[in-house]
Structure 1
Amino acid sequence: MGCGILTTYSEIANISGLHGLLVYTICGSLPILGFACVGPIIRKKCPEGFVFTEWVRKRFGMVTSWYLSFFTCLTMFLFMLGELVAIRTAIETLTGLDALGAMIVECIVTSIYTSVGGFRVSFITDNFQGVLVLLLIIICAAGMGTNIDIDTSKIGPSGLLKANKLGWQLIYILFVAIVTNDCFMAGFWLRTFASRSDKDLWIGCSIASFVTFAICTLVGTTGFLAVWSGDLTVGDADGYNAFFILLAKMPRWVVAFVLIFSIALSTCTFDSLQSAMVSSISNDFFRNKLPMIYTRGLVVLVMIPIIVLAVKVANDILQIYLIADLVSAAIIPAIFLGLSDRCFWFLRGFDVMCGGLGALIGVFVFGTVYYNSAKEGGKLLLIWNGLYNPEDWGPFGAFVVAPFGGLLITFAATGVRLLATWIYCKVTSQPFTALERPEKINIDQVTYDSTKDISDNDAHKTLEEI
């Protein structure tokens, strides 16, 4: 949990009240348990892997792995952008100073120590991050409780404690968005593969799910506390700033303390994203054959557009995350069908790639028809208008079209491929085997000529090819 949690959850609370906040925190915490459910299955199918794309490469082939890796790196790019925007917001709101220097320093420092220590350093900083989050919550709760005056007469009229249409819409939107988007987080997969056992994975995910729910809920309450204190209005454009607006009322030492902790939180999250991107690029695109210094150099170069966008373009952090969410909702569902060898053994990389890309096109088509404008259809792909208007069903429709449309297109592409293969086999008088189940080979029964000089690695590769 980086500095971004201090803005996104308070923004939802300011717009949709307690209903929207609880939906967001529950939908954000429960999917973590998905790694405990799916992780053991993928580790069993791909024991030599350490990221999700490695299993995709083994199941669907190299091209599909590159396809998923591209969108994985895009997601991490957007999350790093969101993290820098969050820390920029914190610094500029609390101090009034230009945050460019701090963002550059953060990128340089994290690049240096992750280059030296690798992903192991990220595990270490995670421990510091956990302690810092707890201290931050305790100090801020005590400070706000003693320095913020709540006008109780505003609580009822604000309507922030009542159920609302947007809150009900978010149950579906955020659950689909976060479940699929978590699959793009290479850092989560690195931790999943690194877990000592399936039991430890369940314990870790359960603790993480509970702690995430509790902390994000507490942070998000600032969204409506700022309304009841008279600092903001419901649905205020500065709703994402609610935490820092309330914080500015507290003693300066508390502000300084929180600012330092916010930078530390952002750094701890940023290094995980950097390490995960390095792992993805090195493994998926170069098969770990490119010297690591060049891969890390590529990631450092990526920092340049991230800083530029964080300063010049990006303002709404929630919108940044929603763009990544919509992409993942289109890409991931079709890929996960490949986990079932019993029902979907016939799926190929071509099918799932057509499904994912077709789903994104489907969202554009839906937006064009719904808004009667191609321009608005393009904006819907970027969730340009956010989720703020409960009367606008465009975003809800986009998150319906993305996963379900992607699955339909996947099966349609499968049908076209099978038909083309059948016609080709008829013309060339070859047997049609596209629907035959692949035979499972018992490794214990596989033998080879022991008189040949075969190393252990060569033998392993031979069994994989068989």
Structure 2
Amino acid sequence: MPYLTSAVLGAALCCFAFLGLRARGRTGSLDDYVTARNSQTGTSLGLSFVASGMGAWILFAPPEIGAFIGPVALAGYALGSALPLVVLGLYGPVIRRALPEGRSIAEFAEACYGRGVRRWVTLVSVAYMGCFLAAELTAIGAITALLSDVPPGWVIIGVTLTTLLYTVRGGLRASLATDRWQAWLLLTLLMAVVGVTLAYLPALPEPSALPSVPAFSALSVALTLVIAVTAANLFHQGYWQRVWAARDDRSLGQGAWLGGVVTVIVIMLIGSLGMLAAASGVGLGEPPMPFFALLNRAPAWIGVVALVLAVTLVASSVDTLQSGIASLLSSRRAEAGASIARARWITVALMVPVVAIALQGLSVLRLFLIADLLCAATVVPVLLGLWSRMTPLAAVAGGLAGLLGAIAPGWVAYGGPVAGVVAASFPDSVPTLGPFLGALLASTGMSLLIALLGWRQRMTQ
């Protein structure tokens, strides 16, 4: 069985590499390498958003939220995952007109505020995407150990090398080409796995009940997830690349809405399995993994299908993150070939510590939450950049206020700034509303206040 599973996974990775290596753009063109500018239709973008935004996390987080918190929090998670696409669909055309030759969120920040803010935005974005990469590779290692006898390290390294092979060579076009096939494959495999799992679902006891979480707590978790996931994904450079890859504004809007709707449906579907697992009374495991608890009751062959699904999910998100990091680290100031080579080597180098962390099998959820919080403290000042009254001072002050707002709830609750910092670092690896809401409100309020005061001062001079 390990040899058959290894062969199936190897065949899937070889197919992804073949598709990616075929999709090279204009040789030597830095712009084509990092943006594939004005080349993608609405359908192509929608499929790409689905494939690049969904990773192995959908097999863990939505079922667990559904099982233990219920449909309200699950809906918040689904909304938070889709909302960044809606924001880019609505706001993206404005960005394209304001920055027609743009390539990244960092360049957008520089055009609005200068190079200092660009460096900060680049740091936040790379930190977030590095955590995302580590989480995805850690997840595929854990899933491999659960569903097969194949050594997890083989799969982690195999996915990393395969995706690097075609993204380093072909850039964004390679990622987009594989995304189209990966989106259809993961949706097909997901339907197959869900269908078989439901067929072997044990009879629900009478009466079966949804998780008994107070409505206020469920709403609090839902709001936390909306803020955290939306803010973090707006620093996902892979999404920003697709703003300029769209053929036109209409294609961008169509792709964003298509990706958002499919994302909501998939997360609600897979999360509902968690609720069914909890209601059926099956053992959810320790740590609890409702989706895989249901798989244990299905035929053994469905485990191989689920593993191929997980590899597809991870590969589709990892190649997007790799391409996004290369885009952030490339430079217009250097010769195109030299800049591409620099971006390639830095991306490869960055994957070394990411793989090292993934091979340890550690939980990166706490790091993920901290990166999400940094994004929440920075996202509104960055997106306000196209407002004529915003200034670099307002953006920087907003970002700093967001960081203070993140620690303020813990500071007030536990009586000291150190306690506030500890609370904002999520020591129990549990997302809480206070730091995220504080970061968002403080950064928004301070940015608006400084911008309006500066505008009023200019008007009176």
TM-score, normalised by the number of residues in structure 1 = 0.80
Is contact 1:23-1:167 (8 Å) kept?
no
**Aligned with residue 38 of structure 1, among 91, 110, 116:** 91
- Whichever of the two has the greater Rg, that structure is 1
CA distance in 2, matches of 1:291, 1:331: 27
Counterparts of 2:243 and 2:281 in 1: how far apart (Å)?
A: 44
Question: Per the alignment, in what secondary structure is the counterpart of residue 435 of structure 1?
Answer: helix
Structure 1 residue 21 displacement after superposition:
1.0
2:129 matched residue in structure 1? 76
Query: C-alpha separation between the residues in 2 aligned to 1:12 and 1:433?
Result: 47
What is the root-mean-square deviation of aligned Cα atoms in Å?
Answer: 2.8
Structure 1: gaps (5+ residues): 389-394, 419-431, 438-466
Match of 2:351 among 285, 298, 303: 303
Shift of 1:253: 1.5
1:120-158 Cα deviation digits (max 9, x unpaired): 0100111122112211222112211221213333622xx
Superposed CA deviations along residues 139-190 of structure 1, whole A, max 9, x for unmatched, are 112211221213333622xx42776322211342222223322220111111
Matched, 1:246 2:298: no
**Is residue 449 of structure 2 the alignment partner of residue 396 of structure 1?**
no
Q: Does 1:12 align with 2:60?
A: no
* Distance apart, 1:18 and its partner CA: 1.8
How do residues 346-385 of structure 1 correspond to structure 2 at under 5 angstroms? 347-348=391-392, 350-372=393-415, 376-385=419-428
Secondary structure of the residue aligned to 1:37 is helix
Structure 1 residue corresponding to 2:306, chosen from 258, 261, 268: 258
Matched with 1:336 is: 383
Partner-residue secondary structure (3-state), 2:56: coil
Cα distance in 2, alignment partners of residues 284 and 66 from structure 1: 15
1:136 aligns with 2:189: yes
Where in structure 2 are there 5+ consecutive unaligned residues? 1-53
SS across alignment from 1:152: coil
Question: Which amino acid in the other structure matches residue 61 of structure 2?
Answer: T
After TM superposition, the structure 1 = structure 2 runs for residues 106-117 of structure 1, keeping only pairs within 5 Å, are 106-117=159-170
**Distance in structure 1 (CA, Å) of the matches to 2:416 and 2:376:** 23
- For these two proteins, the number of residue pairs brought into alignment is 407
Letter of the 1:263 counterpart:
V
Q: Does the 8 Å contact 1:53/1:69 carry over to 2?
A: yes
In the TM superposition, what is the alpha-carbon distance from 1:204 to its structure 2 partner? 1.1
Identity of aligned residues (%): 25
Structure 2 distance, partners of 1:2, 1:52, is 22
Secondary structure class of the residue paired with 2:202: coil
Normalised to the residue count of structure 2, the TM-score between the two structures is: 0.81
Check whether the contact 2:74–2:222 (CA below 8 A) recurs between aligned residues.
no
State the AA in 2 paired with 1:47.
P
| One-letter identity of the residue aligned with 2:292 | F
**Counterpart among 307, 322, 327 of residue 374 in structure 2:** 327
Change (3 A) 1:18 1:411: closer
Instruction: Give the alignment of 1:446-461 within 5 angstroms.
Output: none
Structure 1 residue identity aligned to 2:169: V
What is the alpha-carbon distance in structure 2 between the residues aligned to residue 87 and residue 250 of structure 1? 20
- When structure 1 is superposed on structure 2, of 354-363 and 25-34 the one drifting more is 354-363
C-alpha distance in 2, partners of 1:231/1:18?
Answer: 19
SS at match of 2:60: helix
C-alpha displacement at 1:322, in angstroms?
2.8
